[in-house]
């Protein structure tokens, strides 16, 4: 049995006066892939963005309750958001490489955090991150070309490389494959499976097949509530809740 990495307790989120999440409590284990599924607007992305405090960017968004990462409370005024985010990487729905070279995209994180002292170290981090993201062989000859010149799937892997370059422990993925074709999706799914060995991964997905393929744990959200959470196998074969049953069999959502 592995340890708890993230422990959420009674997380409420409001957008202005509208409540988006209702008392979410969840226990996410280390070095596992946890999938968050549910129909659109059920709050799974909102929950994901609570974990690295991305919701701070939205002025009207208010988060209460408790989320502990490695037993440290992060929903607090005192939390150092910058160090939290360097510990928790994030990959977005639409690939968003910086309009810079491939090399600079990956090098940006290590540079601002001062993780490297020399150019050689930086090169090594960039190369190893691109290798871990399975992109290195495709781009090794054109590291100075703009990141935006890559294909969608390559851009998304570049974003994954950018996230792992700062050596995070957790990677959040917000529908990372929704803008990609099936082949690029398969490559990313394979990659997620490899990354699981070193990172704790939380992935929001609309595709139940994807959740079934890549995750060990699955959480089902509906209308801002966490309906059911458990082993992926169990959720997809024998869920406890009828709503979960209805959703995965395609009766709604």
Partner 1 sequence: MNNSVAKEKIISLRKKRSLEDMRFKYYGFTAMCLSLAVLVFLLYTIFSKGYTAFQKTIVLLEVDYNQEVLKLTPDSSVEEIEKGKFFRVKKQAIENFFPDLSKSDIKLVKKLFSINVDNEIKDYFLDNPEVINTKQQIWVTAHSDVDQLLKGNSRRDVPEDRRKLNDIQLSYVDQLVEEKRVKQVFNNFFFTKADSRHPEIAGVAGSFMGSLFTLFTVFILSFPVAIGASVYLEEFAPKNRITELIEVNISNLAAVPSIVFGLLGLGVLLNVFGLPRSTPLVGGSVLALMTLPTIIIACRASLKAVPPSIKEGALAVGATKTQAVFHHVVPLALPGTLTGTIIGLAQALGETAPLIMIGMIAFIPNIPTGLTEPSAALPVQIYLWVESAERGFQEKSAAAIMVILIFLFMMNAIAVFLRNRFERKW
Catalog residues that contact partner 1 under the rule CB under 8 A: 52, 54, 57, 59, 82-83, 85-86, 89-90, 92, 94, 96-99, 108-109, 112-113, 146, 148, 159, 162-163, 165-166
Contact 230, 216 (CB under 8 A): no
Using left for φ > 0, alpha for ψ between -120 and 50, and beta otherwise, residue 155 falls in alpha
Closer CB to partner 1, residue 75 or residue 159?
A: 159
Residue closer to partner 1 by CB (options 170, 227) is: 170
Stated as kind and residue range, the H or E segment containing 67 is strand 61-69
> Residue 198 CB, nearest distance to partner 1 (Å)?
17
CB neighbours of residue 112 within 10 Å: 11
Cβ distance to partner 1 smaller for residue 156 or 229: 156
Question: Which is nearest to 64 in space by CA: 27, 21, 28?
Answer: 21
Q: How far apart are CA 79 and CA 44, in angstroms?
A: 23
Shortest spacing between CB 99 and partner 1, in angstroms = 4
Minimal distance, residue 59 CB to partner 1, in Å: 5
Closest approach of partner 1 to the CB of residue 252, in Å: 30
In the complex with partner 1, which residue's Cβ is closer, 111 or 216? 111
- Rounded Cα–Cα distance for residues 71 and 226 (Å): 22
Nearest distance, CB of residue 244 and partner 1, angstroms: 30
**β-pair partners for 230:** 218
| Cβ neighbour number for residue 41 with a 10 Å cutoff | 13
Least Å distance, CB 202 to partner 1, is 14
Q: Between residues 173 and 187, which has the closer beta carbon with respect to partner 1?
A: 173
Which residue's CB is nearer to partner 1, number 22 or number 108?
108
Which positions ≥6 away from 193 have C-beta within 8 Å? Answer: 33, 214
Q: State whether residue 53 is helix, strand or coil.
A: coil
């Amino acid at each position: 049995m592995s340890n708890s990495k993230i422990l959420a307790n009674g997380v409420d989120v409001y957008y202005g006066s509208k409540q988006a999440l209702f008392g979410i409590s969840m226990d996410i284990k280390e070095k596992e892939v946890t999938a968050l599924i549910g129909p659109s607007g059920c709050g799974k992305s909102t929950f994901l963005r609570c974990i690295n405090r991305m919701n701070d960017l939205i002025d009207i968004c208010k988060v209460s309750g408790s989320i502990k990462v490695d037993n440290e409370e992060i929903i607090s005024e005192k939390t150092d958001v910058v160090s939290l985010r360097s510990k928790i990487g994030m990959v977005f729905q639409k690939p968003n490489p910086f309009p810079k070279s491939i090399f600079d995209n990956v090098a940006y994180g290590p540079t601002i955090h001062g993780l490297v002292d020399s150019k050689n170290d930086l090169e090594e981090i960039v190369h190893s991150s691109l290798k871990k993201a399975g992109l290195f062989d495709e781009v090794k000859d054109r590291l100075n070309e703009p990141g935006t010149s890559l294909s969608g799937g390559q851009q998304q892997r570049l974003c994954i490389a950018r996230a792992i370059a700062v050596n995070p422990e957790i990677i959040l993925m917000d529908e990372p494959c929704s803008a990609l074709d099936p082949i690029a999706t398969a490559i990313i799914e394979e990659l997620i499976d490899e990354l699981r060995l070193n990172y704790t991964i939380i992935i929001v997905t609309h595709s139940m097949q994807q959740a079934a393929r890549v995750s060990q744990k699955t959480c089902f959200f509906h209308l801002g509530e966490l309906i059911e959470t458990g082993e992926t196998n169990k959720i997809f074969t024998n869920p406890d809740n009828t709503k979960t049953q209805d959703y995965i069999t395609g009766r709604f959502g």
